[in-house]
């Protein structure tokens, strides 16, 4: 990602707005979202704003969502949409690239992702559990370190009768073990696709967010805070002084030592 150090005024004004504000004032092609997603987007994606991220959205529909993301991430962001419906090609523009493909087809992913990498991947496509797992397994290696993979409408996996096994949620639940990869009982922990790259997994109602990193062996750092040891941060020093002041005002004056009787 490139960092835009000085943004033009119009861009700066856009960067001040929340996703909810940009959605409310959107006048382009239609987009549809559940309202509570807006804050979740800000929480997980705002750090990419103004930094020209490479964004992939699965599920283009009428193209409005890509238009909003373009304003949200600002100038220089590179947007790609994927949809199974060839009609979506009409939403392509100078700044938005559209590809037609089935997210449940591993061969499509192998070809499409061959030489591509993304900072953000948003899955708002079929919402079928097995397609989402295919997407997860194929897209993870093409997500840059520091990137985010976000699945929307996960509730659909719970609603659809034919999806009763909900393989997507089962897979994500198991991935919690990948977070603890470095804490095995045995000496040789089993490597998985996620064990050395999964930074975090966050479960919201209907949205699951995975963050990628490059993990190294955990390092335990100890900080000695003995009396008189330096350096002491100004806030810690202030807290110590407050505590000492409180102690001297709260404690009763010490009684003179009683003379022992022989
Ligand atoms: C919920 S709409 C996307 C809405 C859009 N992201 C928005 O926020 O306005 C779902 C889209 O996913 C597409 N889709 C359905 N199954 C798909 C699949 N297997 N692969 C890729 N796209 C698919 C549909 O054609 C539809 O355009």
pLDDT in tens, 146-175: 999 999 999 998 887 565 678 999 999 999
Question: Ligand 1 center to residue 65 CA distance, Å?
Answer: 11
User: pLDDT value at position 207?
Assistant: 97
Q: Quote the tokens at residue 79.
A: 């947007």
Report the nearest atom of ligand 1 relative to the CA of 64: 9
Output the residue whose Cα is nearest ligand 1's atom 26.
61
One DSSP character per residue, 103-132 reads TT-HHHHHHHTTT--EEEEEE-S---HHHH
Of residues 97 and 192, more confidence is placed in 97
pLDDT of residue 9: 80
Which CATH architecture is the domain 9-212 placed in? 3-Layer(aba) Sandwich (3.40)
Q: Give the pLDDT score at 143.
A: 98
> Which pLDDT belongs to residue 153?
95
Q: Among the atoms of ligand 1, which is closest to the Cα of residue 104?
A: 19
Indicate if the pLDDT at residue 211 is higher than 60.
yes
What whole-number distance in Å separates Cα of residue 233 and Cα of residue 98? 52
* Residue that is written with structure tokens 């997507």 in the block: 168
Q: Who lines ligand 1 at CB under 6 A?
A: 31-33, 57-61, 64-65, 82-85, 102-104, 124-126, 131
The mean-pLDDT minimum among 62-66, 151-155, 175-179 falls in 175-179
| Residue 148 to residue 135: CA distance in whole angstroms | 13
**Encoded tokens for 158:** 């719970």
CA of 58 to the centre of ligand 1 (A): 6
Mutate to test the pocket of ligand 1, among 19, 61, 150 (most ligand atoms within 8 A of CB): 61
- What's the CA-to-centroid distance between 62 and ligand 1, angstroms? 9
Question: No. of H helices and E strands in the chain?
Answer: 9, 7
> What is the average pLDDT value for the chain, to the nearest integer?
86
8 Å CB contact between 206 and 39: no
Tell me the average pLDDT across 125-146.
Answer: 96
Task: Say whether pLDDT at 180 is over 90.
Answer: no
Q: What is the pLDDT of residue 129?
A: 93
Give residue 196 CA to ligand 1 midpoint distance, Å: 31
Predicted pLDDT of residue 127: 95
Residue with CA closest to ligand 1 atom 17: 126
Question: What is the distance between the alpha carbons of residues 222 and 229, in angstroms, rounded to a whole number?
Answer: 14
Ligand 1 atom nearest residue 31's Cα: 9
**Which of 83, 102, 150 has the most ligand 1 atoms within 8 A of CB, as the residue to mutate?**
83
DSSP SS3 for 155: helix
The number of the ligand 1 atom at minimal distance from the alpha carbon of 103 is 20
- Give tens-digit pLDDT for 2-60: 555 567 788 888 888 999 999 999 999 999 999 999 999 999 999 999 999 999 999 99
- Averaged pLDDT, 67-82: 96
Q: State the distance from the centre of ligand 1 to the C-alpha of 148, rounded, in angstroms.
A: 19
Distance 159 CA to ligand 1 centre (A): 17
Q: Dump the DSSP string for the chain.
A: ----SS--HHHHHHHTS-HHHHHHT--SS-----TTHHHHHHHHHGGGTTS--EEEEE--TTSHHHHHHHHHH-TT-EEEEEES-GGGGGG--SSEEEEE--TT-HHHHHHHTTT--EEEEEE-S---HHHHHHHHHHHGGGEEEEEEEEE--THHHHH-GGGTT-HHHHHHHHHHHHHTTTS-SSSSPPP-TTTTTEEEEEEETTEEEEEE--------------TT-S---HHHHHHHHHHHHHHHHHSPPPPPPPPPP-
Report pLDDT for 229.
55
Q: State the distance from the centre of ligand 1 to the C-alpha of 34, rounded, in angstroms.
A: 15
pTM above 0.75, yes or no: yes
Q: How many whole angstroms from its chain centre is CA 67?
A: 21
Query: Model confidence over 219-259: pLDDT tens digits?
Result: 777 766 555 555 556 666 666 666 676 666 655 555 555 55
């Amino acid at each position: 990602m490139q960092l835009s150090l000085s943004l033009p005024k119009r861009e700066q004004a856009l960067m001040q707005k929340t996703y909810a504000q940009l959605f409310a004032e959107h006048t382009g092609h239609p987009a549809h979202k559940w309202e509570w997603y807006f804050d979740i987007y800000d929480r997980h994606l705002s750090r990419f704003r103004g930094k020209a991220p490479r964004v992939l959205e699965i599920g283009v529909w009428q193209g409005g969502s890509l238009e909003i993301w373009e304003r949200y991430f600002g100038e220089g962001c590179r947007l790609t949409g994927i949809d199974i419906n060839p009609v979506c090609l009409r939403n392509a523009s100078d700044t938005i690239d559209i590809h037609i493909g089935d997210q449940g087809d591993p061969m499509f992913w192998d070809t499409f992702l061959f030489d591509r990498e993304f900072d953000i991947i948003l899955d708002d496509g079929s919402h079928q559990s097995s397609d989402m797992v295919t997407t997860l397994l194929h897209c993870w290696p093409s997500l840059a370190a520091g990137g985010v993979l976000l699945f929307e409408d996960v509730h659909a996996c719970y609603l659809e009768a034919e999806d009763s096994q909900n393989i997507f949620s089962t897979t994500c639940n198991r991935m919690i073990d990948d977070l603890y990869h470095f804490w095995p009982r045995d000496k040789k922990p089993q490597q998985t696709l996620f064990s050395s790259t999964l930074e975090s997994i966050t479960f919201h109602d209907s949205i699951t967010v995975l963050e990628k990193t490059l993990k190294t062996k955990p390092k335990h750092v100890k900080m000695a805070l003995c009396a008189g040891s330096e350096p002491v941060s100004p806030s810690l020093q202030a807290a110590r002084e407050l505590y000492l002041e409180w102690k001297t005002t709260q404690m009763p004056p010490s009684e003179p030592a009683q003379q022992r009787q022989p």
